[in-house]
Amino acid sequence: MDSDLIEKRRSQILAASMDAFAEKGYHDTKISDIAERLGIGHGTFYRYFKNKLDIFFAVVDGFLAQIKVVVEEEAPQFSDSVESYRSQIRRIGGRMLRLFMADTRMARIIFFQALGVDPALDARLFSIKTLADSMVEAYLANGIVKGFLRPDLDTAVLSRAINAMTLGAAFDILFAANPSETGNRWIEAVSLLMLSGMAKP
């Protein structure tokens, strides 16, 4: 199949681009850098991607799509007790953090390079954030309805706060000596914080 070869080439270029962007950032990465990493002519690059922005978009969007999947696959209505909610937090948090752990390059690009390159890409990132916020807010609303969360929660703000912590965790993991242990500590600490707060009972 021709389109298989094309797809293969595209992924090779995508992979090399991720390396390059993660290492040097968008502006300091030259198309010829990417081509050199693959040992191909730089003209070849343009057979597979329209231009430099096009591939950066592809790189970032591929990751955002994965996040979107995690966000959308969950079912907020599922939990009906603090305990099942705690499991849910652990599971979603874990999946999200594993996404960031899976590819350090990607995390690096998201945190250090993605913003400010292009307005359309900024908007894309923004929309994912908004989606994630809504999803978390639905969980909180479900918890209130089911009666295991306080009825007076400011769900709009708290959902954003929770996602901010998720990002904080992903960022922290990026520099952690032991990422998966660090991830677990975050999940435990944040789920404790969320459900019980820090005050001594």
Residues that bind DNA (CB under 7 A): 2, 5-6, 9, 28-32, 39-44, 46-48, 51-53
Q: Which residues of 57-76 are buried (b: 16+ CB within 10 A; e: fewer)?
A: bbbbeebbebbbeebeeeeb
* DSSP per residue, 17-51: HHHHHHHHHHHH--HHHHHHHHT--HHHHHHH-SS
53 makes contact, choosing from a copy of itself, DNA, none, with CB < 5 to 8 Å by partner type, with: DNA
Q: Does 160 bind a copy of itself (CB under 8 A)?
A: yes
Provide the CA 151 distance to its chain's centre, in angstroms.
30
Compute the radius of gyration of the chain from its Cα atoms: 20
- Nearer CB in complex with DNA: 24/91: 24
Q: Which one of 164, 178, 180, 181 is in contact with a copy of itself (CB under 8 A)?
A: 164
CB 168 within 8 A of CB 95: no
d(CA 175, CA 97): 13
Q: Using CB under 8 A, which residues numbered 71 to 130 contact a copy of itself?
A: 82, 111-113, 115-116, 122
Using the contact rule CB under 8 A, the part of the chain among 5-13, 59-67, 90-98, 190-198 near a copy of itself is 190-198
Residues that bind a copy of itself (CB under 8 A): 25-27, 82, 111-113, 115-116, 122, 140, 143, 147-151, 153-154, 156-158, 160-161, 163-165, 167-169, 171-172, 182, 185-186, 188-190, 192-201
